[in-house]
Amino acid sequence: MTQKNKSRDEFSGFRSFGPGTYTEEKDKDGTVTQRKVRATICSENPVEVYDYYSDEIIREILCCSGMRLPANGQLPLLDNHSRWSGSSSVKGSVRNISPEGNLVAGDIFFSSTAADIATLAREGHLTDLSVGYRTFSEHTTWLEPGEERACDGKTYKNEDAKKRLAIRTVWEPREVSTTPIGADEMAKFRSLNDNHLYEGERTMNPKEKTVETTGKQEPDLDSIRAAARKEAAEAERARVLEIQTCARELNIGDEFIKDFVDKGTPALEARMKCIQEAQRKLAVAPPAGSNVSVGKDETDKFRGAAVTGLLLRSGFPTDKIDSKEREAVEKSEFRGSTMQHLARHILDKSGMRGVVFMDNRQVADAIIDHSKRAVAQGTGDFSYILAAAANKFLLNRYIETPTTYQLWVGFKPLDDFKQNSLVNYSEFSDIDLWPEGTPPKWGRFQDKGEYITLYKYGKAFTISYEALVNDDKGAFSDIPSRIGGACARKRNRIAYSLLYRGNTAGTGSSTVGPTMNEDSKAMFHSDHGNLLSAAAPSVANLGIAAAALKTIKLLAPDADSATQYTNAAIKSLICAVAKEHLWKQVINSESCYDNPTSGANQQPNTGMRNPFFGQGIQIVPEPIIDELSSTAWYVAADPNQVAHIVFGTLGGQNAPIIRNEPNAIGAAAGISYEVMDVFSAAAGDWRGIVKNPGA
């Protein structure tokens, strides 16, 4: 079978007024509860796109049979591919997606927050769609201009005289967007008579109709669409170029940015992730040798060797420094590098004369003055090296500080400091009996939302002039380390304050968690089925909590569906440290303890097997629970299954960052540092966690 490149005129059955497949459902009060329309989301028509790898405009065909949907079979609906506003970018979802010959069709469900977009579609003003997708080089066949070739059971011919044609035999859709003018002319909301366009079918060609001319010039739609495609291609090229330029500036390899380019990641977000990667790597080991040769393109090597030398001298754990970097520095001039040695080296490299004759005070004066000028010019080696090394100490302590919140909360990257939505979707409506000769009933979803907003936390500190003169390695390593620990503990306290008191400050007298936006009730409430009567640790009481967690009612999709339950297993048991040994008896013993609180000499009931033994329940003992309540305990589901307490981070940056600069005149002499940590905690849903006040 020959796959022809169909022109716009060969498919012209789409009406210019509202799509006939658009439907609305209303509740008894007349409020619209669901807006849906059937649509073609893409076709096998060739479309012009910009190809990052070949840096050219190409023609591309997505083989419908090669589409790989996500596991849930659902795609987010966006507005014009906008992904910059986090979850608020989502305007609905696309479901019931399936290939129909040379087309891919799906049902567009508009969210209640996107009524304006649904109205534009219903009135026929908005007709076009565009799919965002990922392709694979190993599943791509290229056709040169004029070339014809069999591929995936079909024969394709590239009829363009200049552009290459890419046949994508396997591809993954990531999102579908409404758009004023789409690149694929078949991707539109459907009218009733377009609801089943299969391969081989076509509507009447307008050229075959008798048209009465009025002398009025019709708009050149082909030119309009061509201009829109050109504009989109130029915007895409600019996005990719900005990402590539950022990667080159930060010495980041192409492999790291490949996913950003393929997935359409916004340039600002990609730049942030490149900066995070550069901070992680921090240094590139210089070649082994007696000296480090410094040139314009050797700055990274010089800085890397200096950072490693400073870390080794200041007591940083050697097992956390790359062995090749360590060996290279041991053979270089940076072996045993001190702040004074480093300062002298930088001053000498900058061309300052007589550095060898300076005492420590003079070196401290000179490097502070030099650093002020270098920072202003963007060339501050000394400030960069101190900040990079301090950041290593800070992050090492941040990671090693014993905290427990990360064992049971969920994490969500956010793009900005605006209020972001945490949307909870219901399950699908009940499946009904489908009598012969009748159409199926439409199912539906319902969504409710909580909110989360990022906040910035931070502190400043100074390495004093005296510490620089005295070459005090303790001041340089200990202060950042201790601040790293403080950052970790702050996150930990905020999580437990929110869980118990209902606010991140831990103030007030509430003990039932935060108030939920969905129903204005406390997170732990008898109406939610997740607040139990006070009970001590025992197998029987843990069984009651496990049953409560499984039988919490999910958000109902509609009034006609039967009640749906979480049926979630216990992932974590959160308790006071004072009760940790009792819960270990309850959970980790093969035989049941009838009453583990009765004393140290109590023996297990060997005739009764413990139903919770070996079930993978992690006990999370936390001293802050002891501080708030010595008896309270919680059981929580996997946060990936039900998002109960959620931690938001800026662009996925899940650690504090540090920067420094010499102090201004009038301030205490030395070098100041600022540590900043951006995150937030919020309640996502009550349905994944149960509280017992304990006894």
3-state secondary structure 253-312: CHHHHHHHHHCCCCHHHHHHHHHHHHHHHCCCCCCCCCCCCCCHHHHHHHHHHHHHHHHH
Q: Per-residue pLDDT averaged across 306-331, rounded?
A: 77
Q: What is the pLDDT of residue 41?
A: 92
Tens-digit pLDDT profile for residues 616-659 = 999 999 999 999 998 999 999 999 888 899 999 988 778 888 87
Q: Is residue 662, in this structure, part of any structural domain at all?
A: yes
Cα 31 from Cα 271, distance rounded (Å): 44
pLDDT band at 1 (very low <50, low <70, confident <90, very high): very low
User: Is there a domain that residue 411 lies in?
Assistant: no
Q: Is residue 604 included in any domain, yes or no?
A: yes
Better pLDDT: 241 or 104: 104
Residue 673's DSSP bridge partners are 461, 660
Backbone phi and psi for residue 312, each to the nearest 5 degrees, phi listed first:
-65, -40
142, part of any domain: yes
Residue 114 belongs to a domain: yes
Instruction: Give the chain's mean pLDDT.
Output: 79
Residue 544 has pLDDT above 90, yes or no: yes
Residue 450's DSSP bridge partners are 422
Same domain for 511 and 658?
yes
Q: Are residues 639 and 490 in the same domain?
A: yes
Domain closes at, from 281, 297, 323: 281
Check whether residue 165 and residue 84 sit in a common domain: yes
**pLDDT at position 290, please?**
33
Q: What is the DSSP letter of 123?
A: T
pLDDT at 241 over 70: yes
DSSP sequence for 621-663: E-HHHHHH-SS-EEEE--TTTS--EEEEEETT--S-EEEEEEP
Domain assignment present for residue 288? The answer is no
Domain assignment of residue 623, yes or no: yes
Residues 148 and 250 in one domain: no
Instruction: Indicate if 40 and 179 belong to the same structural domain.
Output: yes
Q: How far apart are CA 557 and CA 238, in angstroms?
A: 43
Based on the fold, state whether residues 33 and 145 are members of the same structural domain.
yes
pTM for this prediction: 0.52
Residue type, 430: D
* Phi then psi dihedrals of residue 575, to 5 deg: -150, 170
Residues 58 and 180 placed together within one structural domain of the fold: yes
Q: Are 236 and 130 in contact (CB under 8 A)?
A: no
Residue 73, domain extent = 2-205
Lowest mean pLDDT among 160-174, 249-263, 367-381, 477-491: 367-381
Backbone angles phi, psi at 619, to 5 degrees: -85, 130
Span between the terminal Cα atoms of the chain, in Å: 75
Distance CA 680, CA 418 (A): 12
Place of tokens 């012009």: 48
Q: Of the residues 281, 311, 326, which one is the last residue of a structural domain?
A: 281
What is the reported pLDDT for 312? 78
The string of DSSP letters for 377-429 reads HT--HHHHHHHHHHHHHHHHHHHHS---GGGT-EEEEESSSS-EEEEEE--PP
pLDDT digits (tens, 9 = 90+) for 560-591: 788 889 999 999 999 999 999 999 999 988 88
Answer with the residue of higher pLDDT: 332 or 303: 303
Residues 198 and 233 in one domain: no
- CA distances in angstroms from 305 to 312, 339, 412, 583, listed in the order given: 11, 13, 36, 50
Task: Based on the fold, state whether residues 198 and 252 are members of the same structural domain.
Answer: no
Do 201 and 249 fall into the same domain? Answer: no
Quote the pLDDT of residue 376. 39
Quote the pLDDT of residue 292.
Answer: 39
Query: Domains in the chain: how many in total?
Result: 3
Same domain for 667 and 550:
yes
**Band of pLDDT at residue 115, cut at 50, 70 and 90:** confident
Residue partners of 536: CB distance under 8 A and separation at least 6: 582, 597, 631, 694, 695
Q: How far apart are CA 675 and CA 660, in angstroms?
A: 9
Q: Which of 64-73, 351-360, 426-435, 532-541 has the lowest mean pLDDT?
A: 351-360
Name the domain boundary from 173, 205, 237. 205
196 & 232 share domain: no
Q: Is residue 237 part of a domain?
A: yes
The percent of residues above 90 in pLDDT, for the chain, comes to 32
